[in-house]
Structure 1
Amino acid sequence: MGIMSFLRNRAGIIIVGAIGFAIVAFLVSDAVQMGGSLMNSNQTEVGEVDGEAISVLKFNEQVELNTNNFKQQMGQSNLDPQMTSYIIENTWNQQVSKILMDKEINRLGLQVSKNELNDLITGKNPDPQILQNFGDPQTGQLNRVQLNSFLDNIKTQDAKSPVSIQWTSFLLNIRENKLAQKYNNLVKNSLYVTSLEAKEDYNQRNRLANFKYVNLEYASIPDNQAKITDQDYKDYYNENKYRFKNLQETRTFEYVVFDANPTKTDTADTKAIVDKTAADFRAATNDSLFVSINSETKMPVSYVRKGQLEAALDSAVFASSNGAFIGPIFSNGQYKMVKVLNIKSSPDSVKASHILINPATEGGVDKAKAKADSIAGLIAKGASFSELATKFGTDASKDKGGDLGTFARGAMIPAFEEVVFNGKTGDVKVVTTQFGVHVIKITGQVGSSRVAKIAMVDKSLASSSKTQQLAYSKATSFLSTAKDGESFDASAQKSGYSKLIAENVVATQSSIPGLDNPREMIRWAFGADKGDVSEQVFEMGNKFAVAKVVDVFEKGTLPLEQVKKQIETAVRNKVKARMLTEKLTAARNGASSIEQVAQKAGRPVTPVQNIVFANPVIPGIAQENKLVGTIFGSQPGKLSEVIEGDNGIYVFVVNGFSSPAPLTNVFKQKVQVSQALVQRAPGEAFKVLRDKADIKDNRVKFF
């Protein structure tokens, strides 16, 4: 009876508990059967911001987009590891910023209405991006005819067409910028500077202090005489715990590098090949073909302006004449040789428009060229180039009537440049490039300077396979003996190898001392434990390396043991301060003037003039915040207590203060202080959002 009563009274609890247990058991069982998929869910996520995942697929798409934009802006086709790392970091910050701002904007209920968006496009004060894309370069004003023509064209496009998709993305970007502007304005408008704050700021920047001091410097005591105890470390750590907050996980690792730089034999062999190539190049009759076969960078035969080549080559080319052969010249690890084919005067820049015909949609290059010739014929008879570009063009410039703007040499591909820089204003030309068939109109040419048409062949000084293999063999031999942390150190010492150290490396870091592209090594380090030695030899260009993780610094407040080395100097100065304070206190006791303190301490009196609170630097010493702060809170003529500073201990006396002229325009001062706050406000507000957010960064798994 007792059991039945117990079950009736607690039946609900028992049933809920049983169901909960069954669900957990089911999930655990499912995870095991699926190979731990619950634990591995972030294998497709590059990170997470406040619970919102960033998929690696979408992140890679944005990285690729930013990379292409960067290449276009910088005029580069290849990016080094540092530039690639910069783009990845910038993309990550964009993603984090967007998620945090979207959450905050939604929380505040900020919106951009349809009328607002229309006003940003066609209104009296269009968005800067609209002006940039549809503005008249001559007047800087919006070209409303061009804009309206584009908008009419968009209405005829399918919603899934590339142009429509790009325009939708463009509008979303304008909307997001407007929302961010509203949020920043909200933050800025919440700031207020009182009259009291304005007056205090004015005084801090203009009130002058004149004083004299006697000091004992920490450097006066040898380090070996200042014995540090464990309690000294603990006291300093506890007083300054806020300083040891690690915002992101870092690793410190040691590594031994085995160089495979070119030997004397490698250099001699390369030079022999270069000399033979130079002789063949001199005799070559088809320079373009020779360059494409023998050059490493395969720079097209084209015109260059002065300053485009590296200094030694540039000066030699423009000091030569037609038919000259220059080189081989060795620079930046490469041998370079140049044929100067023609030197002449040419426009500095050209303004042009074009209509691009796509052979793929026309049934081949011949049909595309025939269509281009027909269009050129219509233009010759007086047809509007702009209207024909809008109708027949296949690239983004068609929305601007084919206008490509003004550009200098190097901005376009060689075949295109050959036409626009060698023609004259008003010419209409047809040319075929790898992008299609162009109908080109030269609408203007600016300036004139010398240019040189060159054919260039280059060859890098590289290590031979024998040299590479020898360095790799040394690395693998060392790795075979360095199985753990202790044997790593012992083997390095026994073999006479120098250990380099990379301290406080973050997961996304792109470079470390002595290595060009250490990403693989860094990724390994963030998957290893303290004391682990790499199980492979890392190859980075002409260098091979073996590494050992020395320490792991987790995100959050670091423990005392991990910061001991970092704080050793500061703690020792604390010990020295105690030793010196006893001496200076004895000198101060019974003294009625700063001169008496100096005499008893055996130190000079140092006068200081015109120190301001806002710039607490003591001439001849360094910044001393505590000392200067105490001075501005002291009475003139009164001998101070012993003050412990960053560089030594001090006793001072204030001679007097020079107050600035009365602040007559408080409003102006408030505006100045407010402007400084307003400039910092957006960045500081975002920093707060980021600090309070739960951000998980998994980029090290993918990049």
Structure 2
Amino acid sequence: MAAIGKIREHGGFLTVIIGIALASFVIGPKALDLLFKTAPEFDHTSIGIINDQKIDIDYFSGRVEEQINNYKENQKKENLTSEERYTMTMQVWDLVKKETLLNQQELEVGVALINETTGRPEISREEYRDMIVGTHPHQLIVQNFTDQKTGQFNPQYVEQFLSNVEQGLNSDKPEEVEQAQLSDNQWRMLSKYIKEDRLSQKYYNLIKKGYYIPTALAEMEFNDRNTSAKVRYTAVRYGVIKDEDAVPTDADYQEYYAAHKDEFKQKEETRKIDYVVWNVRPSDSDIEAIEKQVNEIAVEFQTIAVENVPVYVNSFRDSRYDSTWYKSGELSPFIDSIAFNSENGTMMGPWVENKAYHIARLMDSQVRPDSMRASHILISFAGAYGATDSITRTKIDAGALANTILELSTSADFAALAIEYSDDPSKTTNEGDLEWFADGQMIFELNQACLENNINDIIIVETAYGFHILKVTGRKDESKKVRIAQINTQITYSKETHNMAFTKATHFASSIQNQASFDSVSTNSQMNIMKGDFVNDVAANIMGITDSRSIVRWMFEQDIVEGSVSDVFDFDNQIIVAVVSGVKLEGISPLEEVKEFIKPLVIRDVKAKKLIAQLTGASDINQVALDNSIIVDTTDYLTFTTYSLPKYGPEQNVQGHMFASEANVLQGPLKGDQGVYFFIVDQVTPAPANTVDYRFTRQQVQSQFAQMVDQGAYNAVDKAADIKDFRKYVY
């Protein structure tokens, strides 16, 4: 099920909304309105409304919980940071929004059925079955259930997988139930994905198939692509005029702004923030206290009985006992040499590395291989882990059969016996060969058997899977390895050190009333002012401050305006005081807000006017080039669809004029992006006559359109949607 993991990786992995429904019940909607300072339409039962369809907050929470559990399982993480959780929650909103918008479209155009229980769109049972075991399997089903030997999709593998899952869920063995629940969750995710994918592909295909190119348009496209021109051109670049000689007036700014106003449309309100930071770091006295504590632990550590060491190490917050065997060079350079030249029980450290104190104890040393190889024949039994329904033999019978095969293996071909008797489904491709595996990678019992027996020894090993007739076939790169127990103690600041920094921040905040006093006091206190621009109301944090969502929430509270000063924000090792330094409202930004941004472009336009005034009246392209110390370039093949003008880059305005101009006539001066142009179209070669109804051109255009549909169609639906987003009130 490798592809299922990929779906989890890219599906957007999310966090859980906690307590909103409970809060609404306990303190009531009016009080909750005051608590969150919400908009009137927020009813606390939904995370948003998409085209009048409420996104239920319990449904959203379930999706979040499901995805975050899958993410933790896939990444092998027990816990996530609050920032990771928040980022995933924003991702699941995007996912649910897309699903909802597409589902609405799918129902409207009639490519989906309606589930009578959930009210959500779905495909028919017949279509679903066809995608998993029928003649038109989904590509992910094919990838996951292909016979490795034949390279062909095998629907029986699907049936067997589902049967194994059902058997495991009904098992009386906790480890089998746990594995089956994991597989069941994976299957549910895969099933949901392929159903959604089939619906969306139906919708997209409907759009693709509905796109038609009439002959007249196909002919126009063919001519645009194939009519070519030979053009001489030159340009006086804007750099010949210094910026200080092209100072824009207010009228120049206004003219540019009016012509490009739609480019400054802001889709959402954003805010700017200035802030100062007190970084809390361990003081000298903090470090001395930690060092004293570590030395005391080291003395006690040496007295702990060997069998109690794992529990003792795990009792420390920053430490976990590690039973890994390490080669020389794999340990910290502070202890590597000592560990490989000392007796068991030797204490090492303390030493400082990666902002922590460390002490270690040598637990054991052995000569062990880097990797081993073995072949096996698995004899399973009813109730063993991973056993299929077809296996009915008892454990006693399995043990007896294993002993019989062990006797046969002394004279018969081991690979042939594996193919005939093994219950391992991979036997058809590997003939029982487990190939090379790293020391510690294999199941513990098999790993130990390979270590403790000689090469070519054949023994019986029992695991949760059943009885294994194991043949040790190889060991390589043997070397001395050590196992150590290590206790780590992070070097952190004390409560007193933190309180001192917090007190400084509190005094600072008490002297601030607005932006001006913030700037003044910061300068006088020699505090570096940090800045955050274009922060929206669902941003995870402000730049440089981890887990600072609370600052963003404060910035967008209803009574916070430009110049508002915050209270002290405490993020453990960073303490912050901030001021809202700007507000950019949704809609078209006023000229003053974009003036600095458009300044280079307005200067360019002023230069264009100056150059056009200077060059107007020129009648010879070669003389223009001579007068301005430039050259005349020639392109022999320029079409209307050519992306850029050689030597100058994309010049849409100039290139468009070239194909609208009379041949052999000097054109210019003409404003371009890089300079002011002159050109002469020397020759136009018409597109060749087409006698095959423009079929190839149609195919090209339709293919280009089809490539844009999947994302473009959704973007269009999203842009036209009426969406009320309540995330900022909840998180």
Q: How does the TM-score come out when normalised to structure 1?
A: 0.72
Comparing 182-191 with 101-110, greater Cα deviation is found at 182-191
Range that drifts further, 545-554 or 633-642: 633-642
- CA offsets per residue over residues 443-485 of structure 1, 9 Å max, x none? 9999977796644444434334344333322222221112333
Alignment-derived partner of residue 609 in structure 2: 578
Match of 1:596 among 623, 641, 655: 623
Does 1:228 find its partner at 2:232?
Answer: no
Do the aligned partners of 2:225 and 2:640 also contact (CA within 8 Å) in 1? Answer: yes
The one-letter code matched in structure 2 to 1:462 is T
Q: Distance in 2 between matches of 1:426 and 1:104?
A: 63
Letter of the 1:124 partner, please give it. Answer: T
Question: Given the alignment of the two structures, is residue 696 of structure 1 paired with residue 724 of structure 2, yes or no?
Answer: yes
Structure 2 CA distance for partners of 1:662 and 1:572, relative to 1, 3 Å? same
Counterpart for residue 116 of structure 1: 127
Give how far 1:690 is off: 0.5
Offset at residue 522 of structure 1 (A): 1.3
CA apart distance, 1:688: 0.7
The superposition leaves residues 71-114 of structure 1 with CA deviations (integer Å, 9 ceiling, x where unpaired) of: 23333334455543442232111110111111111111113333
Contact 1:482 1:533 in 2 (8 A): no
Given candidates 691, 713, 717, the residue that maps to 1:685 is 713
Q: Please give the secondary structure, in 2, of the residue aligned with 1:641.
A: strand
What is the CA distance between 1:277 and its match in structure 2? 6.2
- Aligned position for 2:322: 300
**What SS does structure 2 have at the residue aligned with 1:544?**
strand
**Among residues 478, 503, 522, which one is paired with 2:508 in the alignment?**
478
Q: Counterpart of 2:444?
A: 418
1:346 corresponds in structure 2 to 371
CA drift of 1:174 comes to 3.7
1:492 Cα offset (Å): 2.0
Give the 3-state SS of the residue equivalent to 2:318 in structure 1.
coil
Confirm whether residue 46 of structure 1 aligns to residue 47 of structure 2: yes
Deviation at 1:569, TM superposition (A): 2.9
1:513-524 equivalences under 5 Å are: 513-524=543-554
Q: Which residue in 2 is equivalent to 1:564? A: 595
Q: Which residue number corresponds to residue 580 of structure 2?
A: 549
Please give the alpha-carbon distance, in whole angstroms, between the structure 1 residues aligned to 2:312 and 2:352: 20
In the aligned structure 2, how far is the partner of 1:68 from the partner of 1:104? 30
Equivalent residue in structure 1 for 2:671, among 632, 644, 657: 644
The offset of 1:357, in angstroms, is: 8.8
Question: Residues 110 and 599 from structure 1, CA distance in 2 versus in 1: closer, same or farther, beyond 3 angstroms?
Answer: same
| Cα shift readout 1:557-608 (whole Å, capped 9, x = no counterpart) | 33434333333332333333333332233xxx1x3212322444x4423536
Measured in 1, the distance between the counterparts of 2:333 and 2:289 equals: 23
1:540 alignment counterpart: 571
Relative to 1, partners in 2 of residues 1:245 and 1:668: Cα closer, same or farther, differing over 3 Å? same
User: Letter of the aligned partner of 1:379 in structure 2?
Assistant: A
Distance 1:476 1:32 in 2: 33
Of 628, 646, 665, 2:655 maps to 628
Counterpart-to-counterpart distance in 2, 1:356 and 1:520: 56
Distance 2:290 2:425 in 1: 48
CA contact (8 A) 1:81 1:510 kept: no
Report how far residue 119 of structure 1 moved. 1.8
Instruction: Return the alpha-carbon distance in structure 2 between the equivalents of residues 215 and 245 of structure 1.
Output: 33
Q: For 1:215-614, what aligned pairs fall within 5 Å after superposition? A: 215-217=236-238, 220-223=241-244, 225-229=246-250, 231-262=251-282, 286=306, 287-294=309-316, 296-298=318-320, 300-302=322-324, 333-334=355-356, 341-342=365-366, 343-347=368-372, 377-382=396-401, 417-423=443-449, 429-430=462-463, 454-455=483-484, 456-528=486-558, 529-585=560-616, 589=617, 591-600=618-627, 602-605=628-631, 607=633, 609=635
Q: How many residues align?
A: 623
Return the alpha-carbon distance in structure 2 between the equivalents of residues 596 and 481 of structure 1: 68
- What's the counterpart of residue 367 of structure 1? none
The answer (yes or no) to whether the contact 2:226–2:688 under 8 Å persists in 1 is no
CA 32–510 in structure 1, closer or farther in 2 if over 3 Å, else same: closer
Q: Which moved more, 1:654-663 or 1:455-464?
A: 654-663
Q: Report the secondary structure of 2:100's partner residue.
A: helix
- Matched-pair contact (CA < 8 Å) for 1:524–1:534: no
What CA distance in whole angstroms lies between the structure 1 residues aligned with 2:653 and 2:630?
A: 21
Separation in structure 2 between the aligned mates of residue 663 and residue 282 of structure 1, nearest angstrom: 91
SS at 2:540's partner residue? coil
Structure 1 CA distance, aligned partners of 2:726 and 2:671? 45
| One-letter identity of the residue aligned with 2:324 | S
Q: Which residue of 2 aligns with 1:58?
A: 59
In the alignment, the residues of structure 2 paired with residue 226 and residue 53 of structure 1 have an alpha-carbon distance, to the nearest angstrom, of 54
Question: Distance in 2 between the 1:491 and 1:182 partners?
Answer: 62
Task: Please tell me the residue identity of whatever aligns with 2:311.
Answer: L
Deviations 1:409-428 (A, max 9, x none): xx99x998534544469965
Shift in CA distance, 306/106, structure 1 to aligned 2, threshold 3 Å: farther
- Residue 278 of structure 1 and its aligned partner are, at CA, apart by 7.0
Tell me how far apart the structure 1 counterparts of residues 55 and 472 of structure 2 sit (CA, whole Å).
48
- 1:209 touches 1:632 (CA, 8 Å); kept in 2? no
**Shift of the alpha carbon at 1:500?**
1.7
Aligned-partner residue type, residue 699 of structure 1: R
CA 1:87–1:621: 2 relative to 1, 3 Å: same
Q: CA deviation at 1:274?
A: 6.1
Change (3 A) 1:480 1:355: farther
Structure 1 runs not aligned, ≥5 long: 1-29, 359-373, 384-400, 432-437
Report SS of the residue matched to 1:468.
Answer: helix
Q: Cα–Cα, structure 1 residues 206 and 233, in superposed 2: closer, same or farther, change >3 Å?
A: same
Return the offset for 1:681: 0.9
Does the C-alpha gap of structure 1 residues 97 and 346 become closer, same or farther in structure 2, counting only changes over 3 Å? same
User: How far off its partner does 1:640 sit?
Assistant: 2.1
Name which of structure 1's ranges 469-478 and 275-284 shifts more when overlaid on structure 2: 275-284
Aligned partners of 2:686 and 2:144: how far apart in 1?
55
Q: Could you tell me how far 1:650 is from its partner in structure 2?
A: 3.0
Secondary structure, aligned partner of 2:203: helix
Residue 609 to residue 228, structure 1, CA distance change in 2 (3 Å): same
Report the Cα distance in structure 2 between the residues aligned to 1:638 and 1:319, rounded to whole angstroms: 87
Q: How far apart, CA to CA, are the structure 2 residues paired with 1:206 and 1:280?
A: 88
Aligned partners of 1:226 and 1:576 also within 8 Å: no
Output the CA distance in 2 between the equivalents of 1:349 and 1:506.
Answer: 58
Segments of 5+ residues of structure 2 without an aligned counterpart are 1-27, 113-122, 171-179, 385-392, 403-422, 451-457
Name the aligned partner's letter for residue 131 of structure 2: L
Aligned-residue Cα RMSD (Å) equals 5.1
Range moving further from structure 2, 624-633 or 342-351: 342-351
AA paired with 2:615? L
What TM-score comes out, normalization by structure 2 length? 0.70
Deviation, structure 1 residue 209: 5.6
Task: After superposition, give the CA deviation of every residue in 1:584-636 in whole Å (9 maximum; x if it has no partner).
Answer: 33xxx1x3212322444x44235365777656456666543323333454455
Q: Aligned partners of 1:579, 1:674: CA distance in 2, in Å?
A: 45
Q: Write the distance in 1 (CA, Å) between the matches of 2:647 and 2:590.
A: 36
Cα deviations by residue, 1:505-535 (Å, 9 ceiling, x for unpaired): 2233334432222211112212253325344
Structure 2 Cα separation of the partners of residues 315 and 660 of structure 1: 77
Distance 2:668 2:374 in 1: 71
CA distance 1:38–1:583, shift in 2 (3 Å): closer
